[in-house]
Every structure is written in structure tokens, then in C-alpha cells.
Amino acid sequence: MCFQNCAKYLLVILNIAIFVAGGILAVAGLLLLFESGLLHTDVITLLYKIKYGSVRVGLVVQVVCYMMIATGAIIMVVAIIGICGAWKKIKCCLLVFVLILVITVLLQATLVGLWINVNGRSDEWLKGEMLTLIADYKGPTETDVVSKGFNKLFMKARCCGVNSYSDMESKPTSWFTVTGSVASPPEKVPATCCQGVETSSDITAKVESTCTTTPKDYYTDGCFEVINDQVKMDLLIVCIVCAIAFMVEVAAIVMSCMLLDQTKNRIRHANAGEKHAQPPPYIGIDAVLKNKGNKSKRY
């Protein structure tokens, strides 16, 4: 009985750890979706123009992000099922828990593989592709795919250019060739690179002229560095969480199988013991003896 209780409590603790791991994974995915700026519609459209063979980078980033959220949510649900099954020792819950946990381990392996794949393609190759694209950048108020994508990336990810704002001048971009040559003084930084502009619907309304011409009070980080750092940070989170979750999940599967075995054996012994525990029909025997005694008195 003591061993059964210890197994139950240990499985509950393991499932709490699994729940926390799933929560971390889901939160990391949500932050990537809503806070990084990489999943904004215009930015994804821009990243769709970058292809590695037949694979579009924008699609891979989207899939990975949603997989992080979905896998984290599934892990949390599985942990709740595991806690209920362990605490109440419900056989069907434990069986469902083990089955879904095996599927979850496969999902985690797929997620890690995808992130490693993204990370492997995000160095010099991605930088070169982004520099090629930014050559077609036409300005902060233009509505073509490349300009809108980079403008949203500048504002949402708080970056400028690919390596820095100087990419606009050294490339040179379509925007710098047209705008920089006629402005007085010439503009070196797009208005979308200026700090605070993301809070305004009118891109040029809140921008100091010195920001675009000096430049001053602009985002100093290059967008490649921001994207690369985001990918590496999320890859690190995914790898650490999935590695810890994998070890905990394997232990949880083992403990669940032990509890299932104990439950099955307890039921078998109880059923077997019930046959031998039936009381003899004492009342029937007493009645027979009494009847025999009455017959002998008559004779």
C-alpha cells in the first residue's frame, strides 16, 4: 500500500512538472506570435519571398510558431489527465495519458527538428537574401510588398536595415537613390526606423527631422541580428524545455505503467479472494442437524 501511494504522489509531481514545461513552451510561442513582430502579416508576406529551395521561410516560421503553441497546450492537457488518473487511479485515464504522452514526445521531436532546420538557414544565407530584398525598398509610405514588409519589421521588431541603417545608403536602395538625393539635408534613415513611430498611424507625423537626416533616436540594431537572436533564443527554449519534458515524460510513462499493473493485480487478487471468502451455509447445516435430532427422538 505504501509503494502504491508513493507511486501515485510521484506521478502527480511529474505531471505538475510536465504542465509547467508545456506552459513555458506555449508562452514562448505566444510571445513569438504577438511580441516579436516576425509574425505580422506584412512581415510574413515579406519572408514568403525568401525561399530555400522550394521551402518558404515565412511558412516555416509560421508552422514552428503555431506548433510551439499547440504542443505546449497539448502537454498541459495531457498533464491534467495524468494528474486525475494518478490521483484517482482511474485505469482509462492512465491508458489515455500514456497514449497521448507518446504522441506528444513525437511532436516535441518534430518541433525541435524544425527549429534546428530554421536555425541552420538563418546565418549568412538569410542575411544575403534580406540584403537582396532591401534593394527594392522604396520608402516608409510605399505600399508594395517589400516596402510594407520592411516597414512593419522595422517598427514591430525595433530594428533598421539588415545589418544597420547604413544598408540603405551603401546598397543603395530605391528609397535612398530617390529620397536621399533630393532631400535637403538628404535622408539617411527611413521614418519607420525612428523610435516611437510604431505608436502612430501616420508614419511621418511624430518623427523629428533630425532622426531621418542626422540620424538620431533611431533603432540601431539590424533586422538580421534581431531575427537571428529571436530564432536562437526560441530554439534554446524549445530544446531545453523539450529535453526536460522528455525525461519527465519517460519517467511518467514508467510510473503510469506501474500503477496500471498494480491496479490490475489488485483487482485480480480481490476477485480471486472473493471466491474463498464466501461464508459456509451454517444455517442450512444447523437445520439439517436439528431435523436429524427430531427424527431420532421420535424413534
Residues 72 and 189 in one domain: no
Asked whether the bond before 215 is cis by omega within 30 degrees of 0, the reply is yes
Residues 55 and 84 in one domain: yes
pLDDT tier at 29, thresholds 50, 70, 90: very high
Residues 9 and 104 in one domain: yes
* Integer-rounded Cα radius of gyration of the chain: 34
269 within some domain:
no
Residues 120 and 167 in one domain: no
C-alpha cell read off for 265: 493485480
Determine contact, residues 242/112, Cβ cutoff 8 Å. yes
Residues 93 and 43 in one domain: yes
Mean pLDDT of the 66-81 span:
89
Residues 10 and 86 in one domain: yes
Range of the domain at 89: 2-125+225-264
Residues 81 and 191 in one domain: no
Residues 183 and 201 in one domain: yes
* Neighbouring C-alpha atoms within 13 Å toward the C-beta of 234: 34
pLDDT of residue 185: 58
Q: Which of 18-32, 50-64, 87-101, 192-206 has the highest mean pLDDT?
A: 18-32
Residues 110 and 251 in one domain: yes
Closest CA to 38 of 278, 283, 254, 226: 226
* pLDDT for residue 99 is more than 60: yes
Alpha helices in the chain (DSSP H): 2-34, 41-48, 57-88, 91-120, 124-134, 145-157, 167-170, 174-175, 181-182, 209-213, 223-276, 282-298
53 within some domain:
yes
pLDDT in tens, 113-135: 877 776 666 577 888 899 999 98
Residues 86 and 209 in one domain: no
Average pLDDT over the chain reads 78
Mean pLDDT of the 186-206 span:
70
- Give pTM, 2 decimals: 0.74
Residues 78 and 198 in one domain: no
d(CA 194, CA 151): 11
